[in-house]
Protein backbone atom coordinates (compact mmCIF):
# COMPACT_ATOMS: atom_id res chain seq x y z
CA UNK A 1 0.00 0.00 0.00
CA UNK A 2 1.18 3.52 -0.85
CA UNK A 3 -0.23 6.88 0.05
CA UNK A 4 -0.49 9.64 -2.55
CA UNK A 5 -1.09 13.30 -1.78
CA UNK A 6 -3.00 16.05 -3.59
CA UNK A 7 -2.02 19.54 -2.43
CA UNK A 8 -3.66 22.84 -3.33
CA UNK A 9 -5.59 25.87 -2.09
CA UNK A 10 -9.33 25.90 -1.33
CA UNK A 11 -11.21 25.47 -4.60
CA UNK A 12 -8.17 24.31 -6.57
CA UNK A 13 -10.04 21.17 -7.62
CA UNK A 14 -8.58 18.58 -5.23
CA UNK A 15 -11.96 16.95 -4.60
CA UNK A 16 -12.99 17.06 -8.26
CA UNK A 17 -9.73 15.48 -9.40
CA UNK A 18 -9.58 13.01 -6.50
CA UNK A 19 -13.01 11.62 -7.43
CA UNK A 20 -11.77 10.95 -10.96
CA UNK A 21 -8.34 9.60 -9.98
CA UNK A 22 -9.89 7.24 -7.46
CA UNK A 23 -12.09 5.79 -10.16
CA UNK A 24 -9.34 5.52 -12.75
CA UNK A 25 -6.63 4.05 -10.54
CA UNK A 26 -8.86 2.21 -8.02
CA UNK A 27 -7.61 4.25 -5.08
CA UNK A 28 -9.15 4.90 -1.68
CA UNK A 29 -10.09 8.57 -1.30
CA UNK A 30 -9.24 10.02 2.10
CA UNK A 31 -10.40 13.63 2.44
CA UNK A 32 -9.90 15.08 5.91
CA UNK A 33 -12.49 17.75 5.09
CA UNK A 34 -15.07 15.01 4.35
CA UNK A 35 -14.15 13.06 7.50
CA UNK A 36 -14.51 16.20 9.62
CA UNK A 37 -17.79 17.23 7.96
CA UNK A 38 -19.10 13.73 8.66
CA UNK A 39 -18.06 14.10 12.32
CA UNK A 40 -19.86 17.46 12.46
CA UNK A 41 -23.06 16.07 10.96
CA UNK A 42 -23.01 13.08 13.34
CA UNK A 43 -22.35 15.36 16.32
CA UNK A 44 -19.38 13.35 17.58
CA UNK A 45 -17.07 14.88 20.18
CA UNK A 46 -14.56 15.90 17.47
CA UNK A 47 -17.40 17.15 15.30
CA UNK A 48 -18.75 19.37 18.05
CA UNK A 49 -15.30 20.90 18.54
CA UNK A 50 -14.60 21.26 14.82
CA UNK A 51 -17.95 22.73 13.73
CA UNK A 52 -17.35 26.41 14.48
CA UNK A 53 -13.66 26.22 13.50
CA UNK A 54 -14.54 24.85 10.07
CA UNK A 55 -17.43 27.24 9.47
CA UNK A 56 -15.10 30.16 10.17
CA UNK A 57 -12.47 28.84 7.76
CA UNK A 58 -9.79 28.13 10.37
CA UNK A 59 -7.80 24.91 10.54
CA UNK A 60 -8.64 22.16 13.00
CA UNK A 61 -5.66 21.44 15.27
CA UNK A 62 -2.91 19.15 13.98
CA UNK A 63 -3.19 16.50 16.71
CA UNK A 64 -6.90 15.97 16.08
CA UNK A 65 -6.47 15.65 12.33
CA UNK A 66 -3.37 13.44 12.57
CA UNK A 67 -5.22 11.23 15.06
CA UNK A 68 -8.17 10.78 12.68
CA UNK A 69 -5.91 9.97 9.73
CA UNK A 70 -3.64 7.56 11.58
CA UNK A 71 -6.60 5.72 13.11
CA UNK A 72 -8.05 5.24 9.63
CA UNK A 73 -4.72 4.11 8.17
CA UNK A 74 -4.27 1.62 11.03
CA UNK A 75 -7.56 -0.04 10.02
CA UNK A 76 -5.87 -0.80 6.67
CA UNK A 77 -6.95 -0.36 3.08
CA UNK A 78 -7.17 -2.62 0.05
CA UNK A 79 -4.98 -0.75 -2.42
CA UNK A 80 -3.42 2.70 -2.36
CA UNK A 81 -4.79 5.77 -0.62
CA UNK A 82 -5.19 9.26 -2.08
CA UNK A 83 -5.13 12.09 0.47
CA UNK A 84 -7.11 15.22 -0.36
CA UNK A 85 -6.64 18.15 2.02
CA UNK A 86 -4.04 16.39 4.16
CA UNK A 87 -1.30 17.10 5.14
CA UNK A 88 -2.05 20.78 5.47
CA UNK A 89 0.74 22.03 7.73
CA UNK A 90 4.43 21.25 8.11
CA UNK A 91 3.65 19.58 11.45
CA UNK A 92 1.13 17.28 9.77
CA UNK A 93 3.60 16.44 7.00
CA UNK A 94 6.34 15.59 9.48
CA UNK A 95 4.00 13.53 11.67
CA UNK A 96 2.72 11.66 8.61
CA UNK A 97 6.30 10.97 7.47
CA UNK A 98 7.11 9.41 10.85
CA UNK A 99 3.88 7.42 10.91
CA UNK A 100 4.48 6.03 7.41
CA UNK A 101 8.03 4.97 8.23
CA UNK A 102 7.00 3.19 11.45
CA UNK A 103 4.18 1.40 9.58
CA UNK A 104 6.43 0.67 6.57
CA UNK A 105 4.00 2.44 4.23
CA UNK A 106 5.49 4.02 1.14
CA UNK A 107 4.89 7.64 0.11
CA UNK A 108 3.80 7.67 -3.55
CA UNK A 109 2.99 10.74 -5.64
CA UNK A 110 2.78 14.22 -4.20
CA UNK A 111 0.88 16.34 -6.71
CA UNK A 112 0.31 20.03 -6.20
CA UNK A 113 -2.59 21.67 -8.07
CA UNK A 114 -1.57 25.27 -8.67
CA UNK A 115 -4.31 27.86 -9.29
CA UNK A 116 -3.97 31.67 -9.08
CA UNK A 117 -5.75 33.23 -6.09
CA UNK A 118 -8.00 35.38 -8.28
CA UNK A 119 -10.15 32.53 -9.62
CA UNK A 120 -10.66 30.58 -6.40
CA UNK A 121 -13.35 32.59 -4.62
CA UNK A 122 -15.85 32.29 -7.48
CA UNK A 123 -15.23 28.54 -7.66
CA UNK A 124 -15.84 28.08 -3.95
CA UNK A 125 -18.84 30.36 -3.51
CA UNK A 126 -20.62 28.76 -6.51
CA UNK A 127 -19.88 25.18 -5.50
CA UNK A 128 -22.70 22.77 -4.64
CA UNK A 129 -22.10 19.25 -3.35
CA UNK A 130 -24.40 16.23 -3.39
CA UNK A 131 -25.62 15.50 0.14
CA UNK A 132 -25.57 11.77 -0.61
CA UNK A 133 -22.77 10.78 -3.01
CA UNK A 134 -20.51 13.85 -2.68
CA UNK A 135 -20.48 14.68 -6.42
CA UNK A 136 -19.20 18.23 -6.93
CA UNK A 137 -21.03 20.86 -9.03
CA UNK A 138 -20.81 24.58 -9.69
CA UNK A 139 -23.85 26.79 -10.30
CA UNK A 140 -22.25 28.36 -13.38
CA UNK A 141 -19.46 26.16 -14.69
CA UNK A 142 -20.86 22.72 -13.84
CA UNK A 143 -24.58 23.04 -13.14
CA UNK A 144 -26.66 19.91 -12.54
CA UNK A 145 -29.26 19.10 -15.21
CA UNK A 146 -32.07 19.79 -12.71
CA UNK A 147 -31.57 22.72 -10.34
CA UNK A 148 -30.45 21.58 -6.87
CA UNK A 149 -30.54 17.85 -7.71
CA UNK A 150 -27.59 15.51 -8.22
CA UNK A 151 -27.35 14.10 -11.76
CA UNK A 152 -25.83 10.89 -10.47
CA UNK A 153 -28.07 9.85 -7.58
CA UNK A 154 -31.03 12.28 -7.55
CA UNK A 155 -30.31 13.57 -4.02
CA UNK A 156 -30.46 17.26 -3.05
CA UNK A 157 -27.34 19.40 -3.46
CA UNK A 158 -26.08 21.45 -0.55
CA UNK A 159 -23.96 24.54 -0.03
CA UNK A 160 -21.07 23.99 2.40
CA UNK A 161 -21.21 26.27 5.47
CA UNK A 162 -17.64 27.45 4.74
CA UNK A 163 -18.38 28.30 1.10
CA UNK A 164 -19.17 31.94 1.85
CA UNK A 165 -16.95 34.81 0.69
CA UNK A 166 -16.02 35.59 4.29
CA UNK A 167 -15.03 32.04 5.28
CA UNK A 168 -13.22 31.65 1.97
CA UNK A 169 -10.98 34.64 2.80
CA UNK A 170 -10.15 33.09 6.16
CA UNK A 171 -9.38 29.74 4.48
CA UNK A 172 -7.07 31.50 2.02
CA UNK A 173 -5.30 33.27 4.90
CA UNK A 174 -4.75 29.88 6.58
CA UNK A 175 -3.52 28.43 3.29
CA UNK A 176 -1.10 31.31 2.71
CA UNK A 177 0.26 30.99 6.23
CA UNK A 178 0.94 27.26 5.99
CA UNK A 179 1.58 26.34 2.36
CA UNK A 180 5.18 27.49 1.78
CA UNK A 181 6.72 25.37 4.55
CA UNK A 182 4.58 22.41 3.43
CA UNK A 183 5.68 22.86 -0.17
CA UNK A 184 9.31 23.18 0.96
CA UNK A 185 8.97 19.83 2.73
CA UNK A 186 7.52 17.98 -0.28
CA UNK A 187 9.34 19.69 -3.15
CA UNK A 188 12.46 17.72 -2.25
CA UNK A 189 10.69 14.37 -2.60
CA UNK A 190 11.38 12.48 -5.85
CA UNK A 191 7.71 11.99 -6.72
CA UNK A 192 6.69 15.64 -6.24
CA UNK A 193 5.15 17.39 -9.25
CA UNK A 194 3.07 20.51 -9.76
CA UNK A 195 0.28 20.81 -12.33
CA UNK A 196 -1.51 23.83 -13.77
CA UNK A 197 -4.96 23.70 -12.17
CA UNK A 198 -6.22 26.77 -14.00
CA UNK A 199 -7.37 24.76 -17.01
CA UNK A 200 -10.58 22.86 -17.72
CA UNK A 201 -11.09 19.96 -15.27
CA UNK A 202 -10.57 17.42 -18.10
CA UNK A 203 -7.18 18.95 -18.95
CA UNK A 204 -6.08 19.01 -15.32
CA UNK A 205 -7.11 15.38 -15.04
CA UNK A 206 -5.07 14.48 -18.13
CA UNK A 207 -1.95 16.06 -16.61
CA UNK A 208 -2.48 14.23 -13.33
CA UNK A 209 -3.03 10.90 -15.04
CA UNK A 210 0.18 11.37 -17.02
CA UNK A 211 2.13 12.08 -13.85
CA UNK A 212 0.63 9.10 -12.08
CA UNK A 213 1.73 6.89 -14.96
CA UNK A 214 5.17 8.55 -15.35
CA UNK A 215 6.64 8.54 -11.88
CA UNK A 216 5.12 5.34 -10.49
P1 LIG B 1 -11.45 20.82 2.81
O2 LIG B 1 -12.73 20.13 2.65
O3 LIG B 1 -10.19 20.09 2.59
O4 LIG B 1 -11.51 22.15 1.92
P5 LIG B 1 -10.39 22.95 1.10
O6 LIG B 1 -9.00 22.49 1.18
O7 LIG B 1 -10.66 24.36 1.47
O8 LIG B 1 -10.69 22.62 -0.35
P9 LIG B 1 -12.08 22.62 -1.04
O10 LIG B 1 -12.81 21.34 -0.73
O11 LIG B 1 -12.81 23.89 -0.76
O12 LIG B 1 -11.67 22.70 -2.56
P13 LIG B 1 -11.18 21.58 -3.56
O14 LIG B 1 -9.77 21.83 -3.88
O15 LIG B 1 -11.57 20.21 -3.08
O16 LIG B 1 -12.04 21.98 -4.83
P17 LIG B 1 -13.29 21.25 -5.55
O18 LIG B 1 -12.81 20.12 -6.37
O19 LIG B 1 -14.40 21.00 -4.61
O20 LIG B 1 -11.34 21.46 4.29
C21 LIG B 1 -12.43 22.14 4.85
C22 LIG B 1 -12.10 22.53 6.26
O23 LIG B 1 -11.88 21.34 7.07
C24 LIG B 1 -10.82 23.35 6.48
O25 LIG B 1 -11.04 24.74 6.28
C26 LIG B 1 -10.45 23.01 7.91
O27 LIG B 1 -11.26 23.69 8.83
C28 LIG B 1 -10.81 21.53 7.99
N29 LIG B 1 -9.68 20.66 7.58
C30 LIG B 1 -9.67 19.79 6.55
N31 LIG B 1 -8.49 19.17 6.44
C32 LIG B 1 -7.72 19.68 7.44
C33 LIG B 1 -6.39 19.45 7.84
N34 LIG B 1 -5.60 18.56 7.17
N35 LIG B 1 -5.91 20.14 8.89
C36 LIG B 1 -6.68 21.02 9.57
N37 LIG B 1 -7.96 21.31 9.23
C38 LIG B 1 -8.48 20.61 8.18
O39 LIG B 1 -13.71 22.40 -6.59
C40 LIG B 1 -14.23 23.64 -6.13
C41 LIG B 1 -15.20 24.21 -7.17
O42 LIG B 1 -14.48 24.52 -8.35
C43 LIG B 1 -16.31 23.22 -7.60
O44 LIG B 1 -17.50 23.91 -7.79
C45 LIG B 1 -15.78 22.64 -8.92
O46 LIG B 1 -16.83 22.27 -9.79
C47 LIG B 1 -14.97 23.79 -9.47
N48 LIG B 1 -13.78 23.37 -10.22
C49 LIG B 1 -12.96 22.31 -9.93
N50 LIG B 1 -11.97 22.22 -10.82
C51 LIG B 1 -12.16 23.25 -11.69
C52 LIG B 1 -11.44 23.69 -12.86
N53 LIG B 1 -10.33 23.06 -13.30
N54 LIG B 1 -11.90 24.78 -13.51
C55 LIG B 1 -13.03 25.44 -13.07
N56 LIG B 1 -13.74 25.06 -11.98
C57 LIG B 1 -13.31 23.97 -11.32
MG1 LIG C 1 -12.44 19.44 -1.34
**Beta-carbon neighbour count of residue 156 at 10 Å?**
11
Tell whether 151 is covered by a domain. no
Task: State residue 215's pLDDT score.
Answer: 59
Task: State residue 213's pLDDT score.
Answer: 84
Tell whether 38 is covered by a domain. no
Tell whether 140 is covered by a domain. no
Handedness of CA 131, 133, 134, 139 (dihedral sign): negative
Q: How far, CA to CA in Å, does 39 sit from each of 42, 65, 145?
A: 5, 12, 30
CATH of the domain at 104: 3.40.50.300
pTM: 0.97
Ligand nearest to the CA of 196: 1
Give the chain's domain count.
1
Phi, psi for 92 (deg, rounded to 5):
-65, -40
Tell whether 74 is covered by a domain. no
Contact 27, 1 (CB under 8 A): no
Tell whether 39 is covered by a domain. no
Tell whether 147 is covered by a domain. no
Ranges of the chain whose pLDDT falls below 70: 215-216
Looking at the chain, list the stretches that DSSP marks H as alpha helix, in order from N- to C-terminal side.
14-25, 32-42, 45-55, 62-75, 90-103, 120-125, 165-187, 201-214
Question: In angstroms, rounded to a whole number, what is the distance separating the alpha carbons of residues 155 and 206?
Answer: 29
Pocket of ligand 1 (CB under 6 A): 8, 10-16, 32-33, 36, 53-54, 57-60, 65, 85-86, 88, 92, 123-124, 126-127, 136-138, 141-142, 162, 171, 197, 200-201, 204
Tell whether 179 is covered by a domain. yes
Task: State residue 188's pLDDT score.
Answer: 92
Task: State residue 179's pLDDT score.
Answer: 97
Full residue range of the structural domain in which residue 84 is found: 2-27+79-116+168-214
Q: What is the pLDDT of residues 169-191, one digit of tens each?
A: 999 999 999 999 999 999 999 99
Mutate to test the pocket of ligand 1, among 20, 85, 87, 173 (most ligand atoms within 8 A of CB): 85
Task: State residue 159's pLDDT score.
Answer: 96
Tell whether 126 is covered by a domain. no
Amino acid sequence: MKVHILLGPPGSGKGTQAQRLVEKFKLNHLSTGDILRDAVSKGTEIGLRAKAIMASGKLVDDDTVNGLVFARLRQGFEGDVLFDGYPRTLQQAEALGEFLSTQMIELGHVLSVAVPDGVLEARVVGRRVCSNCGAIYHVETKPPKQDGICDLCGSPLKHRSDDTAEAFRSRMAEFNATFQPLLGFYERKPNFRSVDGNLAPEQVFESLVKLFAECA
